[in-house]
Amino acid sequence: MPVVLDHLAIGTPALTDGWELFGGVLGGTWAYGGDSPGFWWGQLSFAAGPKIELMTPTGGPDAAFLERFLASRGAGPHHLNFLVSDIEATLLPQGTFAEAIRAGGAGIAAFFTPVGAGTALAEGKEERVIDGVPYVLEPAIRADVALVFAARADTLGNLWYRRTARNFNPLMATAARVTIAEASEVVPVGGIEPESVMTPHLYIDELVVQA
C-alpha cells in the first residue's frame, strides 16, 4: 500500500502571516481553501513535492482545538496528511472487535464467537459447531502503535479513564508493541488511588500531556 505525503499543515494566528513567511521563503502557488468548521485554510502548492497547508482559527467552540495548539506551542506544524492508494477494511461487530483486541493483549491468538456465524462476515473463516451452536473463529488484533487517551495519568504512566473512554482505551493499551498515552492531567505518583488505576504503567511507553 504506497503512502505519499500530501501536505504539512501549519497552525498560524493569521493566514496572511503564514503566506508571507512560507511563500516568501519557499515560493509556490497560493490558493485559499475555504472555511472549515473552526478554521480558515489555504495551501501553497509546489511543482514537485508535498503542499503546505496553513490553518488559522475562526473562533467559537469548533476552533478550540487550534486555539489550544497555538496558545501552547505557537505557530508551527500541526499535522501531516498522507495519501494511500488503497485501504483494506474488515467488518467486525463492535463486541467482536473489542474481544479481538482484548485477546491480542492477553496473548490469545484467536477465539470462537457465535456472532456472525453463517453470515457473510464468516466467509473465509473457520466455522465450528460447539454444543449445537455454530461458531466462527476470529483472530486476535495487535497493533504496532496504539494511541490512547486518559483523563488522568501519574508520572509513571498509570492511567485513569473517564466515562466511555473506558470502553476501548484500556484494551488497546495492552495490545500494541508501542503504546503512547495522552492525558488531560498528569499528577504525581500516588495521585491516582491504586484501585482506580485502569491501565498499569508497564503498558505505557510514552506519555504526553494534552495541549
Domain ranges of the chain: 3-84, 94-139, 143-209
pLDDT at position 155 over 70: yes
Residue corresponding to grid cell 474481544: 99
Q: How many CB atoms lie within 10 A of CB 208?
A: 12
Rounded CA-CA distance 134/132 in Å is: 7
pTM of the model: 0.66
3-state secondary structure of 47: coil
Half-sphere exposure of 143 (CA within 13 A, CB side): 16
Cα angle value 209/69/182 (rounded, 5°): 20
What mean pLDDT value characterizes the chain?
90
Helix (H) or strand (E) holding 186: strand 176-187
Cα angle value 87/89/90 (rounded, 5°): 165
Which region among 69-78, 159-168, 191-200 has the lowest average model confidence (pLDDT)? 69-78
Check residue 36 and give its pLDDT.
Answer: 87
pLDDT in tens, 83-107: 887 777 888 899 999 999 999 999 9
pLDDT in tens, 16-56: 877 777 777 777 788 888 888 899 999 988 887 788 899 99
Check residue 83 and give its pLDDT.
Answer: 85
CATH no. for 3-84: 3.10.180.10
